Amino acid sequence: MIAALVVVPILAGLALYLVPRSAEHLAKWIAVAIAFGAFALAISQYGAPDESLRWLSRPFAANFHVGLGKGPSFWIVLLLTLSTGCALMVTRVPRARDFIAQMLVLLGAMTGVFIARDLLLFALFWDLMLIPVFITLVAWSPTKSNATAWKYLVYNLVGGLALLLATAAYGIVQGTTDVIGVDPKSLATISDTWALWICLGFGFAFFIKTPVWPLHTWMPDTYADLPAPMVAIVSAVQSKAGLYGFIVIGLALFPGVMHAIAPVAFVLGLIALVYGALAALVQDDIKRVVAYSSLSHLGLIILAIFSFSPIAIGGAVVYIVAHGLFSAGLFMTVGEIELREDTRLLSRLGGLGGRNPKLAGGLTIVALAALGLPGLCGFAGEILILTGLYRAGFVWQTVVALVPVVIAAAYMLRVFQGVMHGPEHDDLPEREDLSLLEGLALAPLVIAIVLLGINPGPVTHLDTFTRSVAAASAQSTLAILKK
Amino acid sequence: MILFFALAIVLVASAIVTIVQKSPVYSVVSLLVNFIALAAMYFTLNAEFIGVIQIVVYTGAILVLFVFVIALLSSGIGPFSEGPDRLPKILVPALVATLAAFGFLTYGLTRVPLGTLPAHVTTSTVGDVGKANVFGSVGDFGAALFTTHLLPFEVTAFILMVAVIGVVVLGSDATIAPTHGTHVPKKKSRERESIVKAAK
Amino acid sequence: MPVDIANYISLSTVIFFIGVIGVVTRRNPLIVLMSIELMFNAANLAIVAFSKLWGNNAGHIFVFLVVTVAAAEAAIGLAIVVQVFRRAKHVDLDEVAGLRG
Amino acid sequence: MNLAFAMTAASPALLSIWLLPLVGAIVIWTLGPQLRRNAGYLGSAFVLVSFALALANFGAAGNATGLRAPLVTWGPGFAFGLQLDALSLLWTLVITGVGGLIHIYSIGYMWTDRAIARFFAYLNFFVFSMLTLVLADNVVGLLVGWGLVGLASYFLIGFWFYKPTAVAAARKAFVINVFGDIGIMFAIFACYAATGSIAFSDIFAKAGTFSEPLVLAICIGLFIGAMAKSAQVPLHTWLPDAMEGPTPVSALIHAATMVTAGVYLIARFAPLWNLSPTAQEMVAVVGAITMVTGAILGMAQWDIKRILACSTMSQIGYMIMGVGVGAYQAGVLHFFTHAFFKAQLFLGAGLIIHALGDEQDVRKMGGLYRKMPFTFAAMLTGTLAIIGFPFFSGFYSKDAIIYEALEHGHPILFFAGALTAGITAYYMFRMLFVTFFGSYRGDVPDAMLAIAPPVPGAYAAHDDGHVEHAPTWLMQAPVAVLMVPTVIAGYLTIGGESSPWYRYFGTLFGHGGNVAGVPLAIPEWASTIFVLVLVTLGIVVAYLRYGNPPALIGAVDRLRGEALKMPPVLAHAFYVDALIATAIVRPANALGGAISRYVDPHVIDAGVRDVAWVAGMLGALFRALQTGLVRAYALTIVVGAACFIAYFAYLGTAR
C-alpha cells in the first residue's frame, strides 16, 4: 500500500496524457482525487510496517524498500500530498492537462524520495524529481530563454551525481544500501576516510538542494519562473529533501563526519540566515521575497540539524513541515494575486485588501506563520530549534539567529501591506475576491498551520534518530580532522 | 595437420586480398574464399554446427547482401568515385599501432600457457564429426542452446527484429528532414491530423 | 593428428589484425564493413578454438550469437551505406564527417 | 497522534474566561457581514461574561495555588497551561472590565463604519490574546500572548488600512514589538537551558540556583521585551504613531492594557528580579528616563491623542520605575488606577474627536466646556487623577511609587518622579485649558457639536447626506462608569501595609532586596507635600500660559507661532526615529540591495559561470580531436586497444 503512494501518481501522471487535451477539468479533478487519496492513504498507513522487494544483489544489496514510519517521512508525505492537492485545485495554466500530468509525476517522485528506505532508491527518486520541474521550466517558462531551466538542472544534477556516487561507494563499502531508518548500531562501521568522502558527497547534494549559501542562486530564478502551483510544492517539499537527507542519512549513518563538518555548516547556515533575510527585504517581485526568505528559514534548519540537539532536531522537523505549509500557502496566494492583477511586483501592487478581504485573510495567516507569529506553526518550529540550539551551548549563534526573526517581520509585512494595504491603485484591474474553490484550496493549509502551531508535539517524534544523535554527541569529534 | 596449414594459408591470403583490392567485387569474392576456408577450419575443431552456420549465414546471406549493395551502388566493376584523401598519411601510424598491438598480443600469448583440457572432460576428435551427441554435434549444441542459453537466444531474436526495423527505416525512401531543436510548428501537426482524418 | 590450439589462436590473431588494418586504412565503406566481418570471424575462430581446448560448448553458443549480431550489423551497415550514397553520391568515408566537433 | 487538547483537571471557569473572547472573535469574523452593528453587542457580551466569570472566581484565584488548566504538551519540559492567581486575576479583571466598557463605547464610536464587524472581531481577538498573555502558566505561553497582542495591536492600528500613515504606523509598531519578542525568546532559551522547563513554577523554584550573570541575562532579555511592549526609551517611538488607530483602540490597547504588559512581565518575574540588583537598577533607570522623556514630549504636542500617548509613556515609566525599585505593589497599583483614568481620558478625547468630526488638533478646539459639559467632567476627573490630585486614584499610586523610590535608596529617581509629576500637571492642564476654555477656534458648526454626530470619513454618511446617530448613552455610559474607579480605586491602599491591596498580594512578589539604606530619610507626608507643591506649580504655570482668558485671545495665531518655536529636538522626539532609521533600517536595506544587485549576480553567479567557462574551454580543447573522420576514430580505437593489450600482456607475464 505504501508503494502505491509512489506508483499510482507517476502512472496516473503518464496516463493523464490519454485524457483529451480539452478535458482540462477532468484531468484536474482526477489529479486532485489522487493527491487527496494519497493523503488519506498516508494517514491510514501511520506507523504501518515497511514494504520491501529485493532489487539488486550485486555489487551490493539494494531493495525497493519503502516505509512511512512515524517520524519525518510520515509528516513530510502528509505535507506533500496535502499541498499538492491544494495546489492542483487552483491550477490555471495554459495546457493545463500536461501541466497537471507533470505535477502528478512530481508528486510521485517526491513521495518516493521521502519514503525510500534504501539509499539507491532514494538517489533514483532524487534525480527523478528534477525531471518534471525541468520540463515545466522549459515548457511553461514566462520568457523565451531556457536559462533558468538549465541553471536548475545543472545545479541539481551536479548534486544528484555526487549523491549517486556517494550511494554507490556506500553500497560497495557497506555491502547494502538498505539502511535508511535502520539502527546504526546494527551496521558495520565503515572506515573514517570512506565515511568522510561518502558523507561529503551526500552533504554536497543536500546543500545544493536545500539550498545553502553560496549554492543558492538557482533558487530565486527557479521560483520566480515556475507556475504558482508547482512552485508551491517545489518550495514546500522539494527543498526539504536535502534537510530530510541530513536528518535520516547524515545524522543516522555518519554522525562522526557530521560533527566534523558542523563548524562549516554552522557558518554557512548563519550566513544563509542573515543573507536571505537581508536580500528578501528589498526584492520587488513577491516570489523572490519568498524565495530569499526560504533561504533564510532553511538556514535555521541547517543550524538545528548540526547542533545535534534532540530538541532542535525535533524542532527542525516541525519547521520543515511548517515552512512547507506556509510557503505553499504564500506561493498559492501570490499565484492568486498574479492571476488577478497580472503582476507580482510590489511597486505596482497595493490596496487590494478592501476589495479582496478573503484573499487578504489568507495572505495574512500564511505571512504571519512565515514571520513566526507566536501561536502559528512557524513559531513552534523556531522556538524549538532555538531552544535546542541554546541548550546545546550555541549561545552566540542563537543570538545571531534571532536577528532574522525581526527582519522577517519587516519583509513579510512589507509584502502583506504592499499588496493589501494603502490606497487602491487605479491602474490595477479590479477582479473578484477568492472564489469558493480557491478558498477551499487554501483552507486545509491554514487549518494545518494553526493546528501545528498549537501542538507540534507529534511531529517532533524521532524514533531511531534520537539514539543516533545521542551516539553522535558521545563521540565528540572525529579522528579524520586530526590526521 | 597439413589440412590446417593449408587452410591457414588460404585464410591469410584471402584476407589480405580482401583488404587490398581496389574494387569491392574482388574483395567480396576473396572474402567468400575466406569464409569457406574458415568453415572448414571449424570442422577441424569439431564445431560442425558452427561450420554449417558459417556457410549458410555468412556466405549465403551476408555476402549476398554485399553483392546486392555493390550492384545497387555502382554500375559494375571498378573503383567507386572518391573525394580527396583527408588522411593520406594514416597508413604508417595504422600499421605501427596494429603491429604493436599484434606484437604485444603475440608476446603475451607466447609467455602465458593456454591451459589444457580438464581431466574429467572428454572431447571428441576430428573423426567424430557427424556422430550424434558428442562434443560439437548438432544435438549437443541444440540441447545447450534451448536449455541453458535460452534467454540469450531469445534476446538475439529481439536484436534481429530491431535490426530489421532499423533497416526498413533506413532503406525507406522518405528523406529524414534535418531538425533543429524540438520545436515542431503546430500547423504542421494539424495538417498531419487532417491528412490522417482524410485518409480515414 | 590433432593440431595444437595455439596455432589456431595465432591464426586468429593474424586475421584479426589484417581486418584492423583494413578498417583503419580503407576509405571504401564496403571494404571497411568486410574488414569488420573478418575481425568477427577471427574472434569466432578464437572462441571455437578455446571451446575445444576447454571442452565447453558455451563457446559455440557464443559464436552463434556473434554470427546473428554480425548479420544484423551487416544489414544495418549496408543500409546506412546505401543512404549515404543516395545523399552524397560518393562512397567515401572521408565525406561522411558529420561528427566533426 | 494526540492532536487533541488534554483537558485533565482543567478548570472549566478558567477555560471559559480565556476562550469566550476567542469564540466571540471567530463568530463575529465568520458572520461579520450579516451582523453589522450587532457585532458590537455580541462582542461586548462575550467580554462582559468573561468579566463576570473572572469576578465570580475572585476568591478561588486569590488562594495559594489559584485556578489551573493544563492544555497541551509538546515534549519534555514544554507543557502549556493556564493559571489564574492574584496577579493574573487583577489583569484579567482590568482587561475584561475596562475592555468590556470600551467595547460598548466602540459600538457608538464605530456606528457608521462599514467594517464595524471586523473591528469587533479584532477587539475580541485582542482581549483573547491579552488573556493568553496574563493567564499563561509558562513563559512560552506568555510569549504567544505577547505576540498575539502585538498582532491585534497591528490590526487595530492599521484598521483604516487605506491610510498610508496608519499602515506605516502599524508596521512600525509590529516590527518594534517583534524586536521585543526576541528578547523574551532569549530569556526563554536561557530559562529552559537552566531548568529544562518553561513553567513559571519550575523556573522560580530553581531560580535560587542560577548564577548571577545568568539571572542578569534573563532579566535583560525579558526587559527588552518589556521595553518594546511598554514603549520604554528608546523603543517608544511606535506609541505616538499608534494613535493612528481608532480612539477606543488607543484607550484599550495603547493605554489601559497592552502597553502595561511590560509591568506585568516584570511583576510576574519578580522572583528573578529580586535576585539581581543590577537588573532592578537598569529597569528603574530606564523607567525613570521614559517617565521624564514622555512628560517632556507631552509638553510639545498639539494632537490631543498624542498628548495622551506621551502621558501614557510617562505613566508607564512610573510603573516600570516602581517595579524596578522593588515597589511591586505600588507599580501594579499604578497600572490599576492608570487603566481607569487613562481609559477615561482617551474615551473623553474620543467624544471630543467624534463631535468635532475627526479633529484632533487642540488648537482648533476651545471653549468646549459649555457645549460638552459631560465630556468636560470626564476629562477633568481623569486629569485630576493622572496628575495625582489628592483623593483621586492617581494620587495614591503615584505617590507610593515616588516615595518608595526614595525608600529603596534612589534619591535621584525620587526627584525625577516628583519633577515629572509637576510636568504632568502642567501639560495635562495645558491640554484641558486649551480644549475647554477660551473661545471655539474650529470650523465645525454649532449644530453639529451635539454629543454623537456622524464620523466623517470614507464610509460615513449615506449618499443623500442623511446621517445615522448612535444612541448617546452608548458612548456616555462607559465613561460615566469609569469615573467611579477613577476616583476611588486608590482607596484600596489606605492603611499602608495592612490595606486590602497589600493583603491581596501577600507574599506573591517576595522581597525586593534593593534597600540600600535611605540616604534622604524624610517621612511619607513630607514627600507627598513636596510632590503636591510641584503639581500645583505645574497647574499654575499652565493656567498662566493658557488658562486665563486674556492669554487665550487670538489664541490660534499665537499657538501656531508657538508650534514653530518648539525646539527641534522636541519636534523630532529626540531624533530616536531618525537614529533607528539611519543606524538600522537604512543599512539593512542597503545590504539587501547590495546582495540582490551585486553579490548574487556578480559574485556568486559569476563564480558559477567561471566554472562553466572552464568546462567550456576544456570542451573546446577536446573538440579539436573530433575530426569527424571515421578512420581517425578507428585509429584511436586501435591505439587504445594496443595499450590495453600491452597492459594485459604485462599482467599475464608478471604473474
* Residues D497, D477 contacting (CB under 8 angstroms): no
H/E element, D33: helix D12-35
* Mean pLDDT along residues A200-207: 92
Residue with more model confidence, A414 or A422: A414
Task: For an interface test with A, give the residue of D178, D188, D197 to mutate (most A CBs within 10 A).
Answer: D178
Is the pLDDT assigned to residue D464 strictly greater than 80? no
Is ipTM beyond 0.95?
Answer: no
For chain D, the structural domain boundaries read: 276-571, 580-654
Contact C34 B85 (CB under 8 A): no
* Residues D298, D314 contacting (CB under 8 angstroms): yes
| A387: chain D residues, CB-CB within 8 Å | 188-189, 192-193
Is the pLDDT assigned to residue C42 strictly greater than 90? yes
Touching chains C and A? (3+ Cβ pairs < 8 A): no
Write down the pLDDT at residue A38. 92
Write down the pLDDT at residue D221. 92
Which percentage of chain D shows pLDDT scores above 70? Answer: 87
Contact B90 D635 (CB under 8 A): yes
Contact C22 B19 (CB under 8 A): yes
Nearest-Cα distance to chain B for C22, in Å, is 5
Is the pLDDT assigned to residue A319 strictly greater than 90? yes
Compute the distance between CA of residue B198 and CA of residue B162 in angstroms, rounded to an integer.
Answer: 31
pLDDT tens for residues D18-67? Answer: 889 999 998 888 887 777 778 888 889 999 999 998 888 887 766 666 77
Nearest-Cα distance to chain A for D127, in Å, is 15
Write down the pLDDT at residue D459. 34
Kindly state the cell numbers that stand for D238: 511606535
Of the CA atoms within 13 Å of residue B127, those in its CB half-sphere come to 2
> How many CB pairs below 8 A link A and D?
137
> How many CB pairs below 8 A link C and D?
34
Nearest-Cα distance to chain A for D338, in Å, is 28
Q: Is B75 on the interface with C (CB under 8 A)?
A: no
| D624: chain C residues, CB-CB within 8 Å | 101
Residues in chain B: 200
Q: What is the mean pLDDT of chain B?
A: 77
Q: Are strands D78-84 and A51-56 parallel, antiparallel or unpaired?
A: unpaired
pLDDT tens for residues A247-305? Answer: 888 888 888 888 888 888 999 999 999 988 998 888 888 888 999 999 999 999 999 98
* Mean pLDDT along residues A378-402: 89
Picking from D148, D391, D174, D330, the residue whose alpha carbon sits closest to that of residue D257 is D148
Which residues, numbered 595 to 634 in chain D, qualify as contacts with chain C under a Cβ-Cβ cut-off of 8 Å?
A: 622-631, 633-634
Which residues, numbered 132 to 191 in chain B, qualify as contacts with chain C under a Cβ-Cβ cut-off of 8 Å?
A: 135-136, 140-141, 144-145, 148-149, 152-153, 156, 159-160, 162-164, 166-167, 170-171
Question: Taking an 8 Å Cβ-Cβ cutoff, which residues of chain B contact chain D?
Answer: 86-87, 90, 93-94, 97-98, 100-101, 104-105, 107-108, 111-112
Picking from D341, D473, D459, the residue whose alpha carbon sits closest to that of residue D395 is D341
pLDDT tens for residues D88-104? Answer: 888 999 999 999 999 99
CB-nearest partner of D642 from B87, B100, B108:
B100
| C94: chain D residues, CB-CB within 8 Å | 629, 631
Nearest-Cα distance to chain D for A19, in Å, is 39
| B85: chain C residues, CB-CB within 8 Å | 27, 94
D465 — pLDDT class (breaks 50, 70, 90): very low
pLDDT tens for residues D217-266? Answer: 999 999 999 999 988 888 888 888 888 888 888 888 888 888 889 999 99
Q: Is B13 on the interface with C (CB under 8 A)?
A: no
Nearest CA in chain A to D214: A395
Contact B107 D632 (CB under 8 A): no
Exposure pattern of D353-382 as b/e (b: 16+ CB <10 Å)?
Answer: bbbbbebbbbbbbbebbeebeebbebbbbb
Write down the pLDDT at residue D456. 38
D461 — pLDDT class (breaks 50, 70, 90): very low
Write down the pLDDT at residue D569. 67
Nearest-Cα distance to chain D for A102, in Å, is 29
| C97: chain D residues, CB-CB within 8 Å | 627-629
* Residues D82, D76 contacting (CB under 8 angstroms): no
**3 state SS for D402-458:** HHHHHHCCCHHHHHHHHHHHHHHHHHHHHHHHHHHCCCCCCCCCHHHCCCCCCCCCC
* Residues A89, A100 contacting (CB under 8 angstroms): no
Contact D158 A410 (CB under 8 A): no
Is the pLDDT assigned to residue B126 strictly greater than 90? no
| C51: chain B residues, CB-CB within 8 Å | 45, 47
H/E element, D612: helix D605-623
Three-state DSSP at A53 gives strand
Contact B163 C52 (CB under 8 A): no
Burial class (CB in 10 A: 0-12, 13-18, 19+), D602: exposed
Is the pLDDT assigned to residue D512 strictly greater than 70? no
Q: Which residues pair with D138 in a beta bridge?
A: D199
CA distances in angstroms from D9 to A293, D5, D67, D82, D139, listed in the order given: 42, 12, 10, 12, 21
Exposure pattern of D283-308 as b/e (b: 16+ CB <10 Å)?
Answer: bbbbbbbbbbbbbbbbbbbbbbbbbb
* Mean pLDDT along residues D435-459: 56
Write down the pLDDT at residue D451. 41
Compute the distance between CA of residue D622 and CA of residue D624 in angstroms, rounded to an integer.
Answer: 5
Residue D77 backbone phi and psi in degrees, to 5? 85, -15
Write down the pLDDT at residue D549. 62
Write down the pLDDT at residue D511. 61
Contact C94 B121 (CB under 8 A): no
The full DSSP string for B53-72 is HIIIIIIIIIHHHHHHHHHH
Write down the pLDDT at residue A133. 92
At a CB cut-off of 8 Å and minimum separation 6, what does B33 contact?
B10, B14
Q: Which residues pair with D73 in a beta bridge?
A: D79
Which percentage of chain A shows pLDDT scores above 70? Answer: 95
Catalogue all structural domains in chain C, each as residue range(s) with its CATH number: 5-99 (1.10.287.3510)
Note the pTM of the prediction, 2 decimals.
0.80
Nearest CA in chain B to D647: B104
Choose the weakest-confidence range: B157-161, D337-341, D404-408: D404-408
CB-nearest partner of B101 from D631, D632, D642:
D642
Contact D635 C96 (CB under 8 A): no
A53-57, C20-24, C82-86, D447-451, range with greatest mean pLDDT: C20-24
CB-nearest partner of D638 from B86, B87, B101:
B101
Compute the distance between CA of residue D133 and CA of residue D143 in angstroms, rounded to an integer.
Answer: 7
Write down the pLDDT at residue D40. 85
* Mean pLDDT along residues D600-619: 82
Residue with more model confidence, A36 or D458: A36
Q: Is C97 on the interface with D (CB under 8 A)?
A: yes
pLDDT tens for residues B90-120? Answer: 788 888 888 888 888 888 888 777 777 776 6
Exposure pattern of A273-289 as b/e (b: 16+ CB <10 Å)?
Answer: bbbbbbbbbbbebbbbb
* Mean pLDDT along residues C9-23: 91
Nearest-Cα distance to chain D for B103, in Å, is 9
Is the pLDDT assigned to residue C29 strictly greater than 70? yes
Which percentage of chain C shows pLDDT scores above 70? Answer: 90
Nearest-Cα distance to chain D for B113, in Å, is 10
pLDDT tens for residues D281-335? Answer: 889 999 999 999 888 888 878 888 888 999 999 999 999 998 888 888 888 889 9
Is the pLDDT assigned to residue D404 strictly greater than 50? yes
Task: For an interface test with B, give the residue of C78, C85, C92 to mutate (most B CBs within 10 A).
Answer: C78
Compute the distance between CA of residue D271 and CA of residue D283 in angstroms, rounded to an integer.
Answer: 15
Is the pLDDT assigned to residue D8 strictly greater than 50? no
Q: What is the mean pLDDT of chain A?
A: 85
Contact D75 A368 (CB under 8 A): no
Kindly state the cell numbers that stand for C15: 586475421
Choose the weakest-confidence range: B51-60, B148-157, D7-16, D172-181: D7-16
* Residues A130, A89 contacting (CB under 8 angstroms): no
Compute the distance between CA of residue A179 and CA of residue A196 in angstroms, rounded to an integer.
Answer: 17
Touching chains D and B? (3+ Cβ pairs < 8 A): yes
